[in-house]
Amino acid sequence: MRRQAYPAYQQLYFGAFLAAIAGGLDAYTYLEHGGVFAGLQTGNLILMGVSLSKGHFAKFGYYLIAIIAFGLGTVFIRHVQHYFKRNYLKRAYFVLIYEFALMVLVAMISSNAPDVITVMLLAITAAAQLQEFRKLQDGPFTSLMMTGNIRTAAENLYTGYIRHDVVAKQKAADTGIVVGSFMVGAFVSGIFVPWLQDSAILVPAILILGAIVYLSQHSKVTADQEVTKQEERPTRASRHPQVSEDEEDVSEPETRSRRRRRK
């Protein structure tokens, strides 16, 4: 099956980078900063409810701050999207560099700053990624939450292997890569957190650098492919030469005059 060409920021392996970054980010904050999630706000809502039921009001406030920071991060990137309008590639670069800068800032200050500051900064980081990168291969996509992706994979596995749909098989494989990447990101953070502690946030930061390199390389390839297609596509004018309107206006009177001469 021939794959359709997508912009670099919608391609499968770019989405896999994003999923690995998100998995690493949530694993880092959960393990190193008080059992809170930077991106998975559904998890924070559950933990808020449990904390409230046990009368742990300080914990309740901690999760609430993460949720509010996530909302503020979303609003900021929404404003950026209006500023950049339709320049999707520049916007993608901006968001990735913005995420990278926030992660490096966390690596620099988190050993001395309260956990709540670190969590706020990383919730803002996660919000930026979720708000900006919402399409994969022209379909809906989220790199932060895998519930929908697991459902999609299961549905496409059924359609592909029970109903013998080739496209569904490919979609199941693609979704599996995204889900697997999320888990790998969490796994790698889990390995490095005991060793690097606060500085383990540099692991997803390095993955962001990988995503930037991928975006740079594959944006050029996509642009070159587009130019090649346009050059190879024969124009209608070359197939069927047409006379311009001015030429038609001139030729008509000439034809009439010739007819008059013949008469």
Q: pLDDT (tens digit, 9 = 90+) per residue, 154-181?
A: 999 999 999 999 999 999 999 999 999 9
Dump pLDDT digits (tens) for 95-112.
999 999 999 999 999 989
Among 25-29, 109-113, 257-261, the least confident range: 257-261
Dump pLDDT digits (tens) for 234-247.
544 444 444 444 44
CA 240 to chain centre: 43
Mean pLDDT, the chain, as a whole number? 87
Dump pLDDT digits (tens) for 30-65.
999 999 999 999 999 999 999 999 999 999 999 999
pLDDT of residue 86: 80
Cα 98 from Cα 118, distance rounded (Å): 15
222 pLDDT band, cuts 50/70/90, is low
pLDDT of residue 107: 96
pLDDT of residue 246: 43
Cα 161 from Cα 155, distance rounded (Å): 10
The DSSP bridge pattern shows strands 135-136 and 139-140 to be: antiparallel
pLDDT of residue 240: 46
Cα 8 from Cα 36, distance rounded (Å): 32
Q: Is the pTM of this model over 0.75?
A: yes
Strand partners, 135: 140
**Which structural domains are found in the chain, ordered by start?**
8-222 (1.20.1250)
Higher local confidence (pLDDT), 225 or 200: 200
